[in-house]
Chains A and B, each alone.
Chain A
């Protein structure tokens, strides 16, 4: 039994200070009553609110959010920013030409507009990124949730299966898949190739988080109330262990963008009719000495995209983790 009362002025507590309202167990006679007191006037708080308070004061959070927003706008509506189509209107007379009016970044070897190719390439990178993380999140959550929550032989089986996919570095695996699918090079096939081998990271993180959560009191309470195991998993355990999944999803989005660019750079990525920064870097590398800028601009675009997602992911991770916050 307890009641919500204001503290009565205490012998050594009061003085001139204003009294903080407390939630106190009715043991006022006891010297140690302050130990049981809970501050009622304290701001409402939970994991997400704490994280938000931390994030909104950090300039890098706003910078990376703005960059991501800008990238999404460019990816969806590249034609708003340029009148030149990326692949047609290439004239060999413009080969490696410098910047001119309407073409601020000059031309590629084949005389295509670099600026326009970069803008249209954003769509490819982001689509691959989003498709891959959708795939890794679905597979990762299924594997992680079932093996973490049910444990036992289900866990052993799913974990060994996961280890198999985890043991092949995912870019190498995607190289093999794309060699197999050499006739079907598209945003979808490349995302499938990356996503099929990138999900174990998500599964591992979720599994260990569920291990931490599943023995909490609220889970025991739901069991006592007669809730089914599966319902407990979906309604209580998953929502309480999803934070690290969100972080790793943001980070793997960056990873997927790098993977797509690497595959295109290796020549097993996109077909040449699809704009891709990796493709452009691949084609420009031969002219490192003569026309370095055609190599530099797509590299910068790639860097900005990866940087935006990685810094957002890391900031959110640190904001969600009180231990990491203390280390700054």
Chain B
């Protein structure tokens, strides 16, 4: 087990440096001089420019700048936003909102995806199965912003059940609609994976044994079938975390949820390059950490994974 953890963490290190280097390089080649931009229309004294350049280490070669940046990252310093507010202050303010939204969405999509997938797997070829497969194909074909507008129009404007934008403080009842939209984007895959692994498990010998020793469906379905069908679904949830991040950016932007995604959405729209990059970096790091943690959990839960390369 120690060996497995060690190997998995060691594998994550080059990926961490690679992704940050890649993103940092893109910022490096970004057109426009940030120092000159600071002064707007005024033409500053060359001595002042040189002074500022040295202060922000812009006179150093690329690789030195990169390692200075990594050093800052490790100290929890993600830089400063366009308005001058430190990024980690913005994160502290906005992260709880996004976390609330994400937990609601993941909860919703896991429960509904697994329940509907299980039922359709058990009733393979029946009306319910066909209907949910059809619905999943439609949902997969809808980009998240289209789902968001449909939800906004139907529930917000037409039926008037929910607010189209979230009010101050992002109370739970306002987040229900954005959470449904965010969940809808990944629901279809979760449902399908649960369905197909249910069908596979249903035909296993141990299920037949369970039935033949007289256990009821009430016992066999949740304990024998469902529990053994969940591995692919849970794996998918971890790898799908990236989709969730992108979805959160767009959903929060459309519903005005004051979270991390909204801040990124806003920065993209205003063309504030450096802020965009800082937030993308934060999201990528989050994605790496989530995947590492899930992988480590797997090794803990399923001994087979520890030994397979």
Residue from A164, A183, A306, A307 whose CB has the most chain B CB atoms within 10 Å:
A164
Please determine whether A266 and B269 come into contact, CB atoms closer than 8 angstroms.
Answer: yes
Q: Is the beta-carbon distance between B26 and A177 smaller than 8 angstroms?
A: yes
Any chain B CB within 8 A of the CB of A176? yes
B242 contacts which of A169, A179, A183 (Cβ < 8 Å)? Answer: A169
Instruction: Say yes or no for A295: interface residue by CB 8 A criterion.
Output: yes
Chain B nearest Cβ from A313, distance in angstroms: 10
A175 interface contact, C-beta 8 A: yes
Contact A261 B143 (CB under 8 A): yes
**Chain A hits for B15, CB < 8 A:** 160, 163-164, 167
Is B62 on the interface with A (CB-CB < 8 A)? no
Query: Chain B: residues with CB nearer than 8 A to chain A?
Result: 11, 14-15, 18-19, 22-23, 26-27, 29-31, 124-125, 137-138, 140-146, 149-150, 152-153, 157, 164, 196, 199-200, 242-243, 245-246, 249-250, 253-254, 265, 268-269, 271, 273, 276-277, 280, 283-284, 287-288, 291
B149 contacts which of A161, A175, A299, A311 (Cβ < 8 Å)?
A299
Contact check, A327 vs B199: say whether CB atoms are below 8 A apart: yes
A267 to B140, CA, bound (A): 23
| B145 and A281 form a contact (CB under 8 A) | yes
Interface string of A166-186 (1 = CB under 8 A from B): 011101110111011011000
Known: A268-B271, A314-B137. 15 other contacts (CB 8 A): A160-B14, A169-B287, A172-B280, A172-B284, A179-B271, A180-B26, A182-B31, A182-B273, A262-B144, A262-B246, A292-B153, A292-B157, A299-B146, A299-B150, A302-B143
**Contact indicator A262/B283 (Cβ below 8 Å):** no
Residue A319 interfacial (CB < 8 Å) = no
The CA of A306 and the CA of B145, in the complex, are separated in Å by 14
* CB closest chain-A residue, reference B16: A167
Contact A327–B143 (Cβ < 8 Å): no
Instruction: Tell me whether B288 and A167 are in contact (CB under 8 A).
Output: yes
Q: How far is the CB of A108 from chain B (nearest CB, A)?
A: 16
B245 and A179 form a contact (CB under 8 A): no
Shortest beta-carbon distance from A207 to chain B in Å: 13
Give complex CA distance A268, B200 in Å. Answer: 44
Q: Would you call A285 an interface residue if the criterion is a C-beta within 8 Å of the partner chain's C-beta atoms?
A: yes
A265 and B145 within 8 A (CB): yes
Nearest Cβ in chain A — how far from B98, in angstroms?
15
